[in-house]
């Protein structure tokens, strides 16, 4: 994840439009495997929480 790229993108939008009224931080991923092959749910949950936290920090 390149946090500089995210910040540069937001800066460019503010310069072009004057302001940002709201910003939606949306992240996620899919698991394409039969249920029997999926990692234990606790590991999946931790991965999703970590993904959400990292993207929130990157957007600041």
Q: What is the pLDDT along the chain (60 residues), one digit of tens a residue?
A: 566 777 888 889 899 998 888 877 676 777 777 877 777 777 777 887 777 777 676 666
For the entire predicted model, the pTM comes to 0.39
d(CA 59, CA 16): 18
The whole-number pLDDT of residue 8 equals 86
The whole-number pLDDT of residue 1 equals 53
CB-based burial, 21-44: b 16+ in 10 Å, e otherwise: eeeeeeeeeeeeeeeeeeeeeeee
Domain count, the chain: 1
Q: Contact, 27 vs 52, CB < 8 A?
A: yes
The whole-number pLDDT of residue 15 equals 93
List the domain range (segments joined by +) for residue 38: 3-58
The whole-number pLDDT of residue 3 equals 65
């Amino acid at each position: 994840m390149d946090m500089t790229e995210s910040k540069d993108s937001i800066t460019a939008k503010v310069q072009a439009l004057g302001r940002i009224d709201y910003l939606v931080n949306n992240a996620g991923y899919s698991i394409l495997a039969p249920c029997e092959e999926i990692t234990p749910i606790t590991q999946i949950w931790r991965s999703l929480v970590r993904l959400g936290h990292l993207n929130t920090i990157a957007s600041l």
